[in-house]
Structure 1
Amino acid sequence: MLKENSLSDTMDVLVERKPVKHVRIQVLADGKVRVVAPEGFDVNSFINQHYEWIKKKRAEIEELAKDVKGKERMLILNGKFYHLVKDKKFEIKEGDDGVVKYYSLKSLKRKLTEMLRKELKETTAFYSRLLGIKYGKVFIRMQKTKWASCSSKANLSFNLAMLALPEKLREYIVVHELIHLIEPTHSKAFWELVGFYYPEYKKAEQDLKKYWVIVERNEIWRVLRNLR
């Protein structure tokens, strides 16, 4: 990935040179602009042509993130923010001033993975029986671009950062991915089936966009993602 000069010194543009037929542009959660383009393509002119669109997208992202400014160093779990406190054992203390005790960041990541794995085991089993389908293995990873995905072998991969979401949204993600095992694409039939099992799916999709921005700007989740 290369960082190139853009039409404005204030516009941070990340350029990926790939042998693609169609140029792709994306405004990331931190406001940076990502462009995927072939060698020799004039990115600066392309950015100039899409300048108003970029400004609009940045404004939308800032609106999504406005309620969490100043909380970037707190751990978000289940849609709530917690202070991190080092201790000898892992513990989540609820309340107006919630606290998550942890021994090390690696141990915290392990504990969170265990929590999500236990929940997903129950949720995927319930909805797979309801849908009358079978799935393969369940993986938990720190995915960089998605909340979850499914493979052609019916394996399911879930983003550990799903724990930042309220439980109801995690449930929606499970329903969404399991239905992909029936309808692989986002076709009309897919959304009709999703709507039958999760009627509030349109609101859920909007909420997931908001939480994606929140998680991407959260320093704790960023550190956990980079831990090996």
Structure 2
Amino acid sequence: MKEPLIKYRIVRRSVKHPRLELWGDELRVIVPENMDPLKVMRENKRWIMRQAEFVRKASLIARSLKLIPRTKKKFKALVQRVVKEYEKLLNLNVNKVFIRKMKSCWGSCNGERNITINREAQFLPEKLIRYILYHELCHLIRWRHDKEFNELVSREFPDYERLDLELQAYWIKLREMQRTEGGFKLS
């Protein structure tokens, strides 16, 4: 069987260690100035192939997705309500919640107990918004994406792997709309 073609971009930076990042349907190979990026790709071929298959599946799903028309005000209210619900469920206190444009992810958290959600999540179904927020709150308990973290996430979202695929599909859908239709309105 023929291996799939994978779009990739080599990024040379002043970093100590190489890393691979998936940005939608593009692989970013980030390497120190003096490192051979093709060697990094060869050494991580299995991971890259798994990610390529993940993106292929997400791309197929993306074709049939519909964005949810939701105002910024309604999105903010939903985010605040869900964060409060999950704070109680997980016995946590979040410092602040931010809604911002993010280049490469749906959400993030930090050591100051702040949660940030990508404002483009405004167009996602509520279940995916809930999943993003729960995922980030779980990081306040367990920082790494390891077995314990996945077990924590699966308590509320046993289908988290399917939700990750769906999030990737929406990411691809939104990027495609930006390329072909000149974007979408964040009202």
TM above 0.5, yes or no, is yes
C-alpha spacing 1:126/1:222, structure 2 compared with 1 (3 Å): farther
Q: 1:61 aligns with which of 46, 55, 66?
A: 55
Question: Helix, strand or coil for the counterpart of 2:71?
Answer: helix
TM-score w.r.t. length of structure 2: 0.76
Where in structure 2 are the equivalents of 1:25-44 lying within 5 Å? 25-30=20-25, 32-43=26-37
C-alpha contact 2:23 2:104 (8 A) present in aligned 1: no
The aligned residue for residue 112 of structure 1 is 71
Q: What letter corresponds to residue 46 of structure 1 in structure 2?
A: K
Q: RMSD in angstroms over aligned alpha carbons? A: 3.3
Are 1:132 and 2:91 an aligned pair? yes
1:2-45: CA deviation from partner (whole Å, max 9, x where unpaired): xxxxxxxx986433222323322345424x442211113333x4
Aligned partner letter, 1:131: L
1:135 deviates by 0.6
Query: Pick from 111, 117, 121: which aligns with 2:80?
Result: 121
Deviations 1:174-220 (A, max 9, x none): 11111211222223332222222233223222322222222222228
1:98 equivalent in structure 2: none
1:23 corresponds in structure 2 to 18
1:177: which partner in 2? 136
Bigger Cα Rg: 1
Aligned counterparts, 1:26-105, within 5 A: 26-30=21-25, 32-43=26-37, 45-46=38-39, 49=42, 57-58=51-52, 60-69=54-63, 76-78=66-68
Task: With a CA cutoff of 8 Å and minimum separation of 6, indicate the structure with the bigger relative contact order.
Answer: 2
Residues 46-99 of structure 1: CA distance to partner in whole angstroms, max 9, x if unpaired? 388479766775465244223545x8xxx9423xxxxxxxxxxxxx5xxxxxxx
Contact 1:112–1:160 (CA under 8 A) maintained in structure 2 = no
**Bigger share in helix:** 2
Q: What is the CA distance between 1:154 and its match in structure 2?
A: 0.7
Once the two structures are aligned, what percentage of the paired residues are identical? 29
Secondary structure of the residue aligned to 1:35 is strand
